[in-house]
């Protein structure tokens, strides 16, 4: 397909990117949300499940994710659409689950669930990007990274609050 046909159909590069994001990350293509019940599964299990699903979503769509990272600053008009399509649905479920953990005592009271969720998801994104870029520089399995990150994260959110500097 040539460029003229693309622009006749989509009008702008922003609309094309929105369509691609919608196609790759639309409601029917997103992994199921976290159970968020805090019941028999527990926070560790829910975090591990989130990590596996989020990593799979990123890996499956890595070329698109890399393109979006490279292009998003040039196309502010579609930034919200891209973020809503790619990151916000799973982020919202993770924020909800961490908030539940705070209220149930699984995580310390006063923890900001949104910040904690961004830290958790950001580490997974960084891991996926690092592993895809430095394939030969891997001295541990993906599952080892996820397990260690969940351990570190749980230790950080379960302990006493760290005084502000």
Model confidence over 97-155: pLDDT tens digits? 999 999 999 999 889 999 999 999 999 988 888 888 776 666 788 888 889 989 999 98
Can you tell me the mean pLDDT for 84-95? Answer: 81
DSSP string computed for 67-85: HHHHHGGG-GGGHHHHHHH
Give the domains, in start order, of the chain with CATH numbers.
Answer: 3-31+41-158 (1.10.357.10)
Can you tell me the distance from the alpha carbon of 87 to that of 137, in angstroms, rounded to the nearest whole number?
27
C-alpha 36/C-alpha 46 separation (Å) is: 7
Question: In angstroms, rounded to a whole number, what is the distance separating the alpha carbons of residues 56 and 70?
Answer: 21
User: What average pLDDT does the segment 5-27 reach?
Assistant: 70
Residue 149 has a CB neighbour count (10 Å cut-off) of 19
Count of CB atoms situated within 10 Å of the CB of 26: 10
Full-model pTM: 0.72
Q: What are 20's two structure tokens?
A: 């691609």
């Amino acid at each position: 397909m040539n460029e003229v046909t693309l622009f006749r159909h989509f009008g702008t590069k922003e609309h094309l990117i929105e369509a691609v994001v919608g196609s790759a990350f639309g409601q029917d293509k997103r992994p199921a949300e976290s159970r968020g019940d805090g019941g028999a599964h527990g926070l560790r299990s829910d975090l591990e499940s989130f990590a596996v699903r989020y990593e799979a979503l990123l890996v499956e769509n890595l070329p698109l994710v890399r393109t979006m990272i490279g292009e998003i600053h040039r196309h502010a008009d579609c930034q919200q659409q891209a973020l809503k399509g790619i990151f916000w649905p799973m982020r919202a479920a993770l924020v909800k689950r961490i908030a539940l953990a705070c209220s149930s005592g699984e995580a310390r009271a006063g923890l900001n669930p949104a910040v904690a969720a961004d830290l958790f998801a950001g580490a997974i994104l960084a891991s996926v990007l690092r592993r895809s870029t430095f394939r030969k520089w891997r001295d541990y399995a993906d599952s080892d990274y996820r397990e260690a990150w969940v351990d570190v994260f749980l230790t950080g959110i379960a302990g006493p609050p760290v005084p502000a500097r």
